[in-house]
Amino acid sequence: MIKNKPIYILGIESSCDDTSASVICNGKILSNVVANQEIHTKYGGVVPELASRAHQQNIVPVIQQAIHQANIDKKDLNAIAFTRGPGLMGSLLVGTSFAKSLSLALDIPLIAVNHMQGHVLAHFIEDENHKKPPFPFLCLTISGGHTQIVKISSHFKMEVLGETLDDAVGEAYDKSAKILGLPYPGGPLVDKYARLGNPKAFKFTKPRVDGLNFSFSGLKTGILYFIQKQVKENPNFIEENLNDVCASIQYTIVEILFDKLKLAVKQTGIKHIAIAGGVSANSEIRKVLKESEAKLGWTTYIPKFEYTTDNAGMIAIVGYLKYLEEDFSKETISATARLKVSES
Ligand code: KG4
Ligand code: ZN
C-alpha cells in the first residue's frame, strides 16, 4: 500500500457522448472537465458515428485542460485510468487508444475502469461535504443505459439484485420527452417542468414485474397513446398541460423506482442506500430519497451533482482505488461495449 505521498491519476471517460478528463490526487478531485456534444440534440438521440468523431476532436484539448486546471505537469501523473466499457464501441475506442498511448509515452501504468463501477464508486471521492457509504450498501444505479439495484459489499464486490428487463429509466425520461416534443436529452427538461406541475393530474399505469427487476417500455407506450389521444381532441394539449404531464410522468417513474428499492431493503435488511448515474441528478428522486431517512429510517447517500452524469472524476476515483491495489491493465487490453457491473 502506497501512503503519504501524492498520487496523481488522470481519468478519461468517453463511453457515450461526453468527452471528459479529470485529475485526482489521493482521492480528491483537482479537475473534472466535461465537453458535452451538442451535435446530438437535433437528431433526438446519440448518433454513434458522430459521437466518436466528436471524441476524436475533443479528447486532446479536454485532457490538456484537466491537467492545466489541476496545476500539475503531465510528468507528475502516476497512472492513466480510462473507461473500458460498457458503452458505444466507437466512443470507447477513442478514450482507450488515447489512454494506452499516453501511458506508453509517460511510461506509467494503465488502469481499465468499468463505467458502471465508476458511477457507484463516485461516492468514494474525498469531499468534506459528502459522507462515504459503509459496506454493505445498496445502490440504485440509474442512467441512460442502466437501471439496477446493486449490492456493494466492498469497492470491487458488486452484485446486481435487480435490473430493467427492457428500457433504462433514463431512456424512459428521454423518450417521454421526445413524445412531448422536447429536445435530447429530455430527462433534465422533464425534471424542470415537473417541478411546476401537479403530479396527480394524470395517471399512468405502473408495470407489474416480479422481484427486484424493472420495466419501462410499457410506460413509454402508455404515455405515447395517452398523448396521441389527447392531442387528437385538443391540438394544444401538450402546450397547455406540459408541467402537469411532466409531473405525472415523473411521479410514476419515482414510484416505480422506490417501490423496488423498498422491496430490496426488505429483502436484504440493508438500510444504507445510495443513488448513482445520470438520472440520480433528478430533483424528485433526490428529494424522495432524502425524505426516506425520516420516513423509513434509511441512511442515504446522494452524489454531488457534478458526479451524477457521465464525468471522468468517477473514472479517476476508481483508477486511484485500483492503483492502491496495484491492479494495473496490460497494454493489450481492449474496449468492450458490454461489461457487467460485477466485472472489473
Ligand atoms: O449516466 P449518464 O450521464 O449517461 C449514461 O451512462 O447513460 O445518464 C444520462 C441520462 C440521460 O437519459 C438523461 O436524460 C438523464 O441521465 N438525466 C436525467 C436528469 N439529468 C440527466 N433524468 C432525469 N432528471 C434529470 N435531472
Ligand atoms: Zn453513465
So where are the chain's domains? 8-125+307-324, 137-302
- Whole-number pLDDT of residue 42: 79
Q: Is 125 a pocket residue for ligand 1 (Cβ < 6 Å)?
A: no
- Whole-number pLDDT of residue 3: 57
Alpha helices, H only, the chain: 48-69, 89-106, 115-121, 169-179, 187-194, 217-233, 237-268, 283-296, 313-324
Atom of ligand 1 lying closest to residue 87 CA? 6
For ligand 1, atom 20: residue with the closest CA: 188
| Spacing, Cα 142 to ligand 2 middle (Å) | 8
Relative to the alpha carbon of 190, which ligand is closest?
A: 1
Q: Which residue ranges of the chain lie beneath pLDDT 70?
A: 1-3
Q: Hey, which of 309, 314, 338, 341 would you mutate to test ligand 1's pocket, going by the most ligand atoms within 8 Å of its Cβ?
A: 309
- Whole-number pLDDT of residue 103: 98
Q: Which residues on adjacent β-strands are paired with residue 243?
A: none
- Closest by Cα among 232, 124, 223 to 172: 223
Distance, in Å, from the CA atom of 305 to the CA atom of 125, rounded to the nearest integer, reads: 13
Q: Is 173 a pocket residue for ligand 1 (Cβ < 6 Å)?
A: yes
Please enumerate in sequence order all residues whose Cβ is within 8 A of that of 175, keeping only pairs 6 or more positions apart, or say none. 167, 186, 220
- Closest by Cα among 206, 201, 231, 226 to 217: 206
| Spacing, Cα 277 to ligand 2 middle (Å) | 6
| Spacing, Cα 115 to ligand 2 middle (Å) | 6
Q: Is 13 a pocket residue for ligand 1 (Cβ < 6 Å)?
A: no
8-125+307-324 and 137-302 have identical folds: yes
| CATH code assigned to 137-302 | 3.30.420.40
- Whole-number pLDDT of residue 43: 81
- Whole-number pLDDT of residue 36: 87
Distance, in Å, from the CA atom of 3 to the CA atom of 177, rounded to the nearest integer, reads: 48
Q: Name the fold adopted by 8-125+307-324.
A: Nucleotidyltransferase; domain 5 (3.30.420)
Q: Is 282 a pocket residue for ligand 1 (Cβ < 6 Å)?
A: yes
Distance, in Å, from the CA atom of 10 to the CA atom of 74, rounded to the nearest integer, reads: 9
For ligand 1, atom 14: residue with the closest CA: 187
Atom of ligand 1 lying closest to residue 146 CA? 7
pLDDT digits (tens, 9 = 90+) for 85-137: 999 999 999 999 999 999 999 999 999 999 999 999 999 999 999 999 999 99
